[in-house]
Amino acid sequence: MLSEVANMDEYSMKVSHPEFTHTRTFNKELGLIFASRKELWVEMRRFTERTLRHFGFGKSNTMQSVIEAETTDLVKEFNETIKNHGGIMKIRTKFVLSLLNTLWCMVAGQRYPHDDPTLIKLMDRNFEMTKSRSFIDPFHFLLPKRIKDMFPSISKEDVRLRVYKECHDFTKILIDERKTEGMYNNSPLNYIDAFLQKIEENKGNNKSVYTEENLQAMLADLLQTGTTTTNGTMNYGVLFLTLNPKIQEKCQKEIDSVVSRHLSPTLEDIEKMPYFQACILETHRQGNVVPNPIPRFAPTDWNIKG
């Protein structure tokens, strides 16, 4: 019953905290992860789920080739780095560009080389921001703005705002590119196109949540939620497997029993790997990369099941 309640919008509105949330998005409430207005939150969540799925998110026939290309490059890079650094490799953000690419081909129709300097810098900054203080740190909500303004380097407010500025600069270029290309009008090719089409459809409606600033906010949200969480989970996975060589051996044995060594595993193959699946779930449980989700509240009293 608890999970049913947690998934019902009317019981789980997000707490508004303009000092924290609006400063990242042009001093307005925008985007999805911190949306406390129901019209904004529900609309953005539905649109984003529907649109990403439409462009292939979660579908094995679309994602298989992207994931395969990324893992092939990653394995090659890992082998080279390990060879050139005496058997040592710092994991840190090694997975992040691959993870971004699997998402970004549906969001922006882009795949970035793993040595792209702009993306490496942006992802590194993002990593520093989440490391310096989780972006959903509950204590941050309790700190008065005056104190945060007085000690920006302690509160890391300066880091956060700089990262968001860089992120918005990056997404503005992507949006302008898609606008110049002009496909959004007739046949949208990705999330940005679909959003631009919605902006066009809602022109003249000043209550519309489809604005270019909101598109930038959404891209920032997707960039952060889609990469920091998955990168953290992958890092924990590597750590746990390193600390538990017997479990690592059992996973390898199971993978070998399903996929021949000269083939790449497919998304369907994982269905035949219950032990490996259990290890992934255990990684989520123990890694717990989002220990403090965004605070929620029930706006009114409700009667549940009598």
Q: Between 22 and 179, whose beta carbon lies closer to ligand HEM?
A: 22
151's tokens: 């000690």
Query: What is the closest distance, in whole angstroms, from the C-beta atom of residue 21 to ligand HEM in the complex?
Result: 12
Query: What is the closest distance, in whole angstroms, from the C-beta atom of residue 133 to ligand HEM in the complex?
Result: 17
Q: Between 30 and 32, whose beta carbon lies closer to ligand HEM?
A: 32
Query: What is the closest distance, in whole angstroms, from the C-beta atom of residue 103 to ligand HEM in the complex?
Result: 6
Query: What is the closest distance, in whole angstroms, from the C-beta atom of residue 277 to ligand HEM in the complex?
Result: 14
Q: Between 55 and 184, whose beta carbon lies closer to ligand HEM?
A: 55
Q: Between 29 and 221, whose beta carbon lies closer to ligand HEM?
A: 221
SS3 of the chain: the string is: CHHHHHCCHHHCEECCCHHHHHHHCCCCCCCCCCCCCHHHHHHHHHHHHHHHHHCCCCCHHHHHHHHHHHHHHHHHHHHHHHHHCCCCCCCCCCCHHHHHHHHHHHHCCCCCCCCCHHHHHHHHHHHHHHHHCCCCCHHHHHCCHHHHHHCHHHHCHHHHHHHHHHHHHHHHHHHHHHHHHCHHHCCCCCHHHHHHHHHHHCCCCCCCCCCHHHHHHHHHHHHHHHHHHHHHHHHHHHHHHHHCHHHHHHHHHHHHHHCCCCCCCCCCHHHHCHHHHHHHHHHHHHHCCCCCCCCEECCCCCCCCC
Q: Between 28 and 38, whose beta carbon lies closer to ligand HEM?
A: 38
Query: What is the closest distance, in whole angstroms, from the C-beta atom of residue 147 to ligand HEM in the complex?
Result: 26
Q: Between 43 and 221, whose beta carbon lies closer to ligand HEM?
A: 221
- Dihedral-angle region of residue 303 (phi above 0 means left; psi in -120 to 50 means alpha; beta otherwise): beta
Distance (Å, whole) CA 170 – CA 17: 25
Query: What is the closest distance, in whole angstroms, from the C-beta atom of residue 185 to ligand HEM in the complex?
Result: 25
In this structure, are residues 276 and 270 in contact, taking their beta carbons and an 8 Å threshold? yes
Q: Between 32 and 279, whose beta carbon lies closer to ligand HEM?
A: 32
Using CB under 6 A as the criterion, which residues of the chain lie in contact with ligand HEM when the complex forms?
32-33, 45, 103, 221-222, 225-226, 229-230, 233, 289-290, 293-294
Query: What is the closest distance, in whole angstroms, from the C-beta atom of residue 43 to ligand HEM in the complex?
Result: 11
